[in-house]
Amino acid sequence: MNMWENYLFDFSFHSCRKQGGRQLGSSIFVMLMKPKLEDTYQHKGLRRQLIQLLREKGITDEAVLEAMNNIPRHFFLDSAFDKIAYEDRAFPIGEGQTISQPYTVAYQTQLLKVGKMEKVLEIGTGSMYQSTVLAEMGAKVYTIERQKKLYDQHSSYMFKMKYPNLKFFFGDGFEGLPAFQPYDKILITAAAPFIPPKLVQQLKVGGLMVLPVDEGDNQRMLRLTKLEDGSLQEEAFEEFSFVPMLTGKNR
Ligand code: SAH
């Protein structure tokens, strides 16, 4: 078993245990859910089409498009989604959470203007796809997840060797990660009810924070620039729909 298969084995074993705990049940489940770790010509072709679609939808940052073209999104999804992994859609990733739609990932990353070696804090690791895009772009990425089961999946992250610049943390994103502050960039990938003050504190002067802020069913994408006097300059963009940013941790 390679690392990824190992992860799905653990995942399916635990999910089956919850449903009755029979060893037989879990091994059948493993066979059914065996992931496709192969990045075939078909996957690559579908990915190129997705990148073209993102261009048509207005994404222009070549570094973002290249990073997304380099990363097999289907590796971050259950094998049941293998054939549709390159549709511009969000998908469930367990614990009631979702992997963001590719357009949303591209849009937020483009707004963040990520540079190589910049320190980026991401709130909401989820599937690890967005953090991988940031790592592929050469940023030093610190990502926080509040759902223990999702956080635990990082232990079998398939690109551990490839991205030593990506670090995973279990915690409440409202608190940020003071140990590594200040950050050049902060990205929130869940619907924030307000601008989290501790994250503003942990942002460098001149740094950018991109976040969807709650407006009922949808959220307005904001980009904040921290000014010399600590105040924020605000730019507002399109509306999106994210899962909520929740306080505290969920074990
Ligand atoms: N960036 C993710 C998107 C996942 S959806 C991806 O590429 O797949 C948003 C994630 O934010 C969920 O996993 C949710 O559990 C997490 N989240 C919500 N509130 C949070 C908080 N306060 N701190 C950390 N993570 C949070």
Active site residues: 100
| Residue indicated by tokens 């003071």 | 178
Q: What's the pLDDT band for 24 if we cut at 50, 70, 90?
A: very low
* Rounded Cα–Cα distance for residues 102 and 51 (Å): 9
Residue 48 confidence (pLDDT):
98
Segments of the chain assigned E as strands: 91-94, 97-99, 119-123, 140-145, 166-170, 183-188, 203-215, 218-226, 232-240
Nearest atom of ligand 1 to the alpha carbon of 174: 22
Q: What is the rounded average pLDDT of the residues 150-172?
A: 97
Q: Which residues pair with 188 in a beta bridge?
A: 123
Contacts of residue 81, defined as CB under 8 A and 6 or more positions apart, other chains included, come to 74, 91
What count of other Cβ atoms lies within 10 Å of the Cβ of residue 37?
15
Contacts of residue 130, defined as CB under 8 A and 6 or more positions apart, other chains included, come to 100, 105, 108, 109, 122, 124, 187, 189
Would you list the domain boundaries of the chain? 91-240
Nearest atom of ligand 1 to the alpha carbon of 122: 1
- Ligand 1 pocket test, candidate residues 145, 199, 219, most atoms within 8 A of CB: 145
Residue 162 has pLDDT above 80, yes or no: yes
- Ligand 1 pocket test, candidate residues 147, 219, 247, most atoms within 8 A of CB: 147
Helix (H, G, I), strand (E, B) or coil at 127: coil
Dihedral angle of Cα 214, 218, 221, 222, to the nearest 10 degrees:
-30
Max mean pLDDT among 93-97, 191-195, 215-219 falls in 191-195
Phi-psi region of 20 (alpha: psi -120 to 50; beta: other; left: phi over 0): left
CATH code at 91-240: 3.40.50.150
Handedness of CA 226, 232, 238, 240 (dihedral sign): positive
Q: What's the pLDDT band for 124 if we cut at 50, 70, 90?
A: very high
